[in-house]
Amino acid sequence: MQEIGVYELKTHLAKYLKRVSQGYSFTITKNGVPIAVLQSYQSEKKEDIKQVIHSLREFRKDHNLGDLKIREMIEEGRK
């Protein structure tokens, strides 16, 4: 992923947006420190909620907590 400075991005925003639409991603830096990522919105895959719920239910059929209780696990994590 190519790095670009804030000033460069601000000066040539249209050019970078065009490149992002072509599939490129950029790390935006300020004084050499990464502060953000510029990437295409379409590059993030969104899963169908109903499919996720179905997958979780299928997973639960084959996996259980045995004698453990969720409340006990929560309390153990708080210690």
Confidence of residue 3 (pLDDT cuts 50, 70, 90): very high
What's the pTM value of the predicted model, to 2 decimals? 0.52
pLDDT at residue 6, as a whole number: 95
pLDDT at residue 11, as a whole number: 96
Question: Could you give the domains of the chain?
Answer: 2-43 (3.40.1620.10), 49-78 (no CATH)
pLDDT at residue 26, as a whole number: 95
Q: How far is CA 62 from CA 57, 58, 65, in A?
A: 9, 7, 10
Give tens-digit pLDDT for 15-66: 999 999 898 999 999 999 999 999 988 645 667 888 889 999 999 888 887 8
The answer on pLDDT for 2 being more than 80 is yes
